[in-house]
Every structure is written in structure tokens, then in C-alpha cells.
């Protein structure tokens, strides 16, 4: 009994730094957001902040539109990331050790750079006059492209910034896949294509799920990318929240919007979980 208590205390002690870290950096900010969302400027509890978001029809519609386009951009970016990342991760997992190391470097280097800098570089590349892309196209006698300050640029920025978060989990799952499973399938008469469809893809679902989550969640809440690459035409929910805090110095309104966004993200994560569980169910059924 005493022993057990001592053990318990020791594990508490060992976990203390982690616990402290979580409280300071995760729980406390969340609490702050919630507190601000349910208070007004004078500091008394109220639901008015939420109500005011939807009072007049125009601002409600506007908000709905912004939410919808944020969701749509995030979904598009996630889908593109998945389509690019899976083949690349597959190739990496099957390449030689040296190639794997080098590719890993290439993929992670952009993650070390500040993403503001990356985004500014994209402005330089995409800008209509003197942009690298159009200079190159002109050299090749191809028509000029207007990408900057269009939705394309926003999605491109998202894909560029979040692609590594899709590649890495898929690569991890694929490189841990037992080679003997693939061999067993070939042995039983599966062609390369059948092995991919019946063995590799189903077994890499967990990596895909975590990649999708890691790209979708930051994409849906991103700001700055849309502001800088999308011009002012394509405001997303993240930009709106930022504007509330900075331009309008309306902390309560910003907090309320953040809370709504958070609930949405949580719901979509639950949905994803459900989806992967259903997949497991599908294996059993047939």
C-alpha cells in the first residue's frame, strides 16, 4: 500500500514539468479565450458578444461567408497536400538510405524558416511585374499568369507551408510497414497495384488521418497567408479574428470568434476519428 502511494507520488513528480508546461501554455490560454468570449468590455458576464455577431442580417451573412470560404480553402489545401504527399512519402519510404536522408532535409528545411519570410518570398515569385514565375514564363514564350492576390495564391501558400506536416506522418507509417506483409501479398498472387490497394493503402490510413488533421487544422485557422497572398478580397476567419484583436481592439469579439472556430475544428476532428473507425469496420465487413 505504502509502496503504491510512493510510486504514485514519484510518477506525479516525474510528470510535473510536463503538467506545468501544459497548464501554462495550453490550459491557461484556452481559459483566457473562454473568459473573454463570455464577458463584455466592462468585465461582467454576458452572451452579448455572440449575439452581436449575428444581430443584423448583413454581418451574419458576411460571417457565414467567411467561415464557408475558410473551410473550403482548407479542404482544398488539405486535398492537394494529400495528393502530393502520398506518392512522395511512398517514394521516400522505398528509396535508399541516402536519398531518404536528403529528401528529409529538403522537406524540413522550409519548416525551420519563419513562415512570414516564406510567404514574402512567394510574393516575390508570383508578383505580376518582375516576379520570378512570369520572367520564367516569358523566357519560355508562355502566357503570363496572374496568381498573386487570387484564391490560387492563398491555396498555394497553405500547401507550401503545411505540406511537410502531411508528408512526415505518412512517411513514418509507410517506412514502418513490415516488408514481409508486402512480400506475403505478392507471394499470394497480388500484383504491385493490388499490393498497393489491398495492403499498403489500408495500412497507411492512420498516417493519412494524422496528416490530414495536421494540415486541415492550421489551414482553417490561418491568417496572414490570405492577407499577404490573397490581397484583401479573400478574408478568412483567421484574418477576421486577427483584425478584431488588432485593428478593432475588440478582444471579446475576437475571443468569441476563436471559440466558434475551435468548436468547429474539434467537431471536424471527431468526425475524422469516426471516419477512421468506420474504415476499420469496413475491413471486418468485407
Partner 1 sequence: MIIDLKNVSVAFDSQAILKDLSLSIRNRDFVTLLGPSGCGKTTTLRIIAGFLEPDAGSVFFDGKCINSLPPYKRQVNTIFQRYALFPHLNVAQNVAFGLKMHKLPKAEIAQHVHDMLRTVNLAGFENRSVASLSGGQQQRVAIARALAVRPRVLLLDEPLGALDLKLRKDMQLELKNIQQQSGITFIYVTHDQEEALSMSDIIVVMDEGEIQQIGTPKDIYDEPQNAFVADFIGESNILDGVMLKDFRVRFAGVAFTCVDKGFAQNEHVDVVIRPEDIDIVPPAEGLLQGTITSSTFKGVHYEFIVDVQGFKWMIQSTDAQTVGDVIGIAIKPEEIHIMRKSRYSGTIGDYSCFSDEFEELSNPNEDTAEDTAETEESP
- CB contact set of 159 (below 8 Å; sequence gap of 6+): 77, 80, 81, 84
CB of 283 to partner 1, least distance (A): 5
Q: Is 176 in the site for partner 1 (CB under 8 A)?
A: no
Q: Which of 17, 188, 247, 281 binds partner 1 (CB under 8 A)?
A: 188
Q: Which of 6, 106, 181, 266 binds partner 1 (CB under 8 A)?
A: 181
Q: Distance (Å, rounded) from C-alpha 91 to C-alpha 60?
A: 47
Using CB under 8 A as the binding rule, the residues of this chain from 193 to 252 that contact partner 1 are: 194, 198-199, 202-203
Q: Which of 141, 189, 278, 281 binds partner 1 (CB under 8 A)?
A: 189
Q: Distance (Å, rounded) from C-alpha 249 to C-alpha 32?
A: 16
In terms of Cβ atoms closer than 10 Å to its own Cβ (0-12, 13-18, 19+), residue 37 is: buried
Nearer to partner 1, 43 or 202 (CB): 202
Contact by Cβ (8 Å): 191, 116: no
Contact by Cβ (8 Å): 237, 227: no
Binding mask 255-284 for partner 1 (x = CB under 8 A): -------------------------x--xx
CB of 166 to partner 1, least distance (A): 22
Nearer to partner 1, 137 or 203 (CB): 203
Q: What are the grid coordinates assigned to 53, written together?
A: 455577431
Q: Which of 53, 88, 123, 190 binds partner 1 (CB under 8 A)?
A: 190
Q: Distance (Å, rounded) from C-alpha 109 to C-alpha 95?
A: 20
Binding mask 129-168 for partner 1 (x = CB under 8 A): ----------------------------------------
CB of 159 to partner 1, least distance (A): 30
Q: Which residue in 169, 197, 162 sits closest to 86, CA to CA?
A: 169
How many residues sit in the footprint of partner 1 (CB under 8 A)?
A: 20
In terms of Cβ atoms closer than 10 Å to its own Cβ (0-12, 13-18, 19+), residue 204 is: buried
Stretch that binds partner 1, among 18-26, 153-161, 185-193, 249-257 (CB under 8 A): 185-193
* Phi and psi at residue 164, to the nearest 5°: -55, -35
Given the rule CB under 8 A, which residues bind partner 1? 178, 180-181, 183-191, 194, 198-199, 202-203, 280, 283-284
Amino acid at each position: 500500500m505504502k509502496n503504491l502511494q510512493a510510486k504514485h507520488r514519484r510518477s506525479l513528480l516525474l510528470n510535473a514539468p510536463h503538467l506545468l508546461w501544459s497548464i501554462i501554455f495550453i490550459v491557461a490560454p484556452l481559459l483566457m479565450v473562454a473568459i473573454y468570449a463570455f464577458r463584455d468590455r466592462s468585465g461582467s458576464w454576458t452572451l452579448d458578444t455572440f449575439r452581436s455577431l449575428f444581430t443584423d442580417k448583413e454581418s451574419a451573412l458576411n460571417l457565414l461567408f467567411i467561415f464557408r470560404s475558410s473551410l473550403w480553402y482548407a479542404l482544398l489545401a488539405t486535398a492537394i497536400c494529400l495528393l502530393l504527399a502520398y506518392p512522395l512519402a511512398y517514394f521516400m519510404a522505398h528509396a535508399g538510405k541516402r536519398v531518404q536522408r536528403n529528401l528529409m532535409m529538403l522537406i524540413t528545411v522550409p519548416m525551420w524558416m519563419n513562415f512570414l519570410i516564406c510567404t514574402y518570398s512567394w510574393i516575390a515569385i508570383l508578383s505580376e511585374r518582375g516576379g520570378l514565375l512570369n520572367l520564367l514564363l516569358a523566357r519560355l514564350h508562355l502566357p503570363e499568369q496572374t496568381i498573386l492576390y487570387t484564391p490560387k495564391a492563398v491555396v498555394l501558400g497553405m500547401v507550401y507551408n503545411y505540406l511537410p506536416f502531411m508528408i512526415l506522418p505518412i512517411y513514418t507509417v509507410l517506412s514502418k510497414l513490415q516488408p514481409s506483409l508486402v512480400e506475403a501479398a505478392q507471394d499470394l498472387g497480388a500484383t504491385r497495384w493490388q499490393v498497393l490497394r489491398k495492403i499498403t493503402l489500408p495500412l497507411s490510413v492512420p498516417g493519412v488521418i494524422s496528416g490530414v488533421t495536421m494540415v486541415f487544422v492550421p489551414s482553417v485557422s490561418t491568417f496572414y497567408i490570405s492577407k499577404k497572398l490573397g490581397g484583401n478580397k479573400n478574408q478568412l476567419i483567421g484574418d477576421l479574428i486577427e483584425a478584431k484583436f488588432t485593428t478593432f481592439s475588440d478582444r471579446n469579439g475576437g475571443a468569441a470568434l476563436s471559440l466558434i472556430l475551435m468548436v468547429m475544428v474539434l467537431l471536424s476532428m471527431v468526425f475524422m476519428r469516426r471516419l477512421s473507425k468506420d474504415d476499420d469496420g469496413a475491413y471486418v465487413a468485407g
